[in-house]
Amino acid sequence: MGAYFVLFLYSVNLDETELGDVLPVLLIVVLSIGAALLALGLLLGDIRRAALGLTATLVALFGYGHLLELLAPRGIGPFVQQVGWLAAVGLAWVVAWRTGPRLAPATRALNVVAVVFVTVPLIAIVPYQFGLIARNPLGGSPSADPGANPAPADAPDIYYLVWDRYPGPRSRELQSGIENTLYGDLRARGFYVAERSHANYWRTSISLNSTLSAALRDGRGRDDEVLGQADTSGPYSRIQNSNVARFLKARGYSYIHLGSDFSGTRTSALADVNPQHDQLSDFGAAFLESTALPRILRRLGLGGPHWERRYNWTTWELDQLERLPDRPGPEFVFSHILLPHTPYVFDADGDFIPYPERSRLSESEQFENQLAYTNRRLLAIVDHLLDRPEASRPIIIVQADEGPYPFGLVDATGHDWTTATPEDREIKYNILNAWYLPDGRDIGLYPEISSVNTFRLLFNAYFDTDLPLLPDQSFSRGHSRPLQFPP
């Protein structure tokens, strides 16, 4: 049953998780439960008693977060659920203690139930994994084009800085009406701000997949390849082994990859420099967050491990961006920063907000605090990059991969944006998209440019490619029809 909760979380996040991140968590859970079962069996003198009580305890510990999400919208709050779980676990231990030798038939029945539970997520996982093998039977990463002409030594560095869920001007106005001076601050520093820019997709994994492949994929998965054949051996392969990075490396660029704690951007096999704050996978953190442990810590006023990890990693990443040393030759720097993305753990000064204080703020107030801190650090990084002789300044693209979710949206992950209001679609898809070109050349930027055309336009201007621009269209989950937005 312990294995079931790990496999279930993986089965509902197949396109967001690498198998290599799941296996260590599964191994730790199974070995830990095995050790606990053996110890309790010796202590109680009956392994069946230990198994029944321990199983009930584990179901409560691992299932609490999932059930909380289902029942809380129906008016059954955390306190009632916690009392219910404690009662159920207590009853299971009483039954285990008083029943004794008569547990053998119940144990055999529960073993069958456990096998069924484990089999259900495997029905989704096994075909998915075989599909990955079929698409890339030899494994490995694609190589860069060896015939590409190298860029000149004085070619500009390229900084592609992705600020997750940063709203565009129209998104911000519709979402909260918060006064946001960032767009004007960027223009004052020489940036072009594409005010009507939209993300092509609703979530990071497919949005960055598309942008870094310079390929448009509709909601049903069709794609228009460019710049060579991308690796399809995993859900994040087109991000971690991206066409864009391979194109630039083939032309002599060093690739600096500063990823977030999100598994999809944490590492890249192509990167020449790929520092990480810690080795805990995003899946491991998500599994921990789905258990009762974070809620126990919050009940004690201690916050949650996922929140603090996100705070520490993001702060470290921002500090790294402000301290990147100059290296010989041109560089391509990619950084995915999970700001102003949830959880809202930063106050306006960048201090960590403990759970009790955070719970007293509305979602809009939490967002405003985190946005204020995001703006301050974003501008500080930009100023750091511009604080060099004009001839050696880099190309800087400051962009979001998706906009924020409308406040109060219950099912953010599975929401069908074709059924949303045009205003809500604008909130979600209108993104920050700002460009600084050190030589001031006109490369044909326009207000409606979407993420997928980022590197097509850039490569046409600076590398003499002749890539046609793709339609600036946005898609929802499972739908091939483009979304429409307010005029």
In a shared domain, residues 401 and 455: yes
Sign, CA dihedral 137-140-146-152, equals positive
Rounded to 5 degrees, what are φ and ψ at 54? -65, -40
Q: Which two tokens stand for residue 127?
A: 């075909």
In a shared domain, residues 431 and 389: yes
In a shared domain, residues 166 and 302: yes
In a shared domain, residues 333 and 425: yes
pLDDT of 259 over the 80 cut: yes
Q: How far is CA 362 from CA 176, 305, 344, in A?
A: 12, 22, 11
For residue 162, tell me if it sits in a domain: yes
Residue with tokens 């139930």: 113
pLDDT tens-digit map of 338-362: 999 998 999 999 999 987 788 889 9
**Residue 140: CA atoms inside 13 Å, Cβ hemisphere, count?**
5
Name which of 4-18, 241-255, 323-337 the model is least confident about.
4-18
For residue 290, tell me if it sits in a domain: yes
pLDDT tens-digit map of 27-73: 999 999 999 999 998 988 888 888 989 999 999 989 887 787 677 66
- Beta strands of 349-423 (E only): which ranges? 395-399
Q: How far is CA 98 from CA 39, 48, 53, 86, 201, in A?
A: 19, 12, 12, 18, 56
DSSP 413-452: TT--TTSS-HHHHHHHHBB-EEEE-TT-------TT--GG
In a shared domain, residues 82 and 224: no
For residue 468, tell me if it sits in a domain: no
Residues 6 or more apart in contact with residue 335 via CB below 8 angstroms: 159, 160, 161, 162, 257, 258, 259, 317, 321
pLDDT tens-digit map of 207-257: 999 999 888 764 433 334 444 444 445 557 788 889 999 999 999 999 999
Residue with tokens 């994040």: 236
In a shared domain, residues 211 and 71: no
| CATH number (domain holding residue 262) | 3.40.720.10
Q: How confident is the model at residue 271 (pLDDT cuts 50, 70, 90)?
A: very high
In a shared domain, residues 113 and 163: no
For residue 472, tell me if it sits in a domain: no
Residue with tokens 């405003």: 368
Count up the domains in the chain and report the number. 2
Euclidean distance between CA atoms 431 and 401, whole angstroms: 7
For residue 144, tell me if it sits in a domain: no
For residue 356, tell me if it sits in a domain: yes
Rounded to 5 degrees, what are φ and ψ at 259? -90, 170
3-state helix, strand, coil in the chain (%, to 5): 50, 10, 40
pTM for this entry: 0.76
For residue 87, tell me if it sits in a domain: yes
Give me the pLDDT at residue 235, please. Answer: 58
Tell me the percentage of the chain whose pLDDT exceeds 70. Answer: 87
Name which of 222-226, 237-241, 259-263, 443-447 the model is least confident about.
222-226
Q: Which of 102, 135, 168 is the last residue of a domain?
A: 135
Q: How far is CA 307 from CA 56, 136, 282, 310, 386, in A?
A: 28, 36, 12, 5, 32
Q: Which domain holds residue 88?
A: 2-135
For residue 473, tell me if it sits in a domain: no
Give me the pLDDT at residue 220, please. Answer: 37
Nearest to 226 by CA among 450, 482, 470: 470
- Beta strands of 144-251 (E only): which ranges? 158-163, 192-193
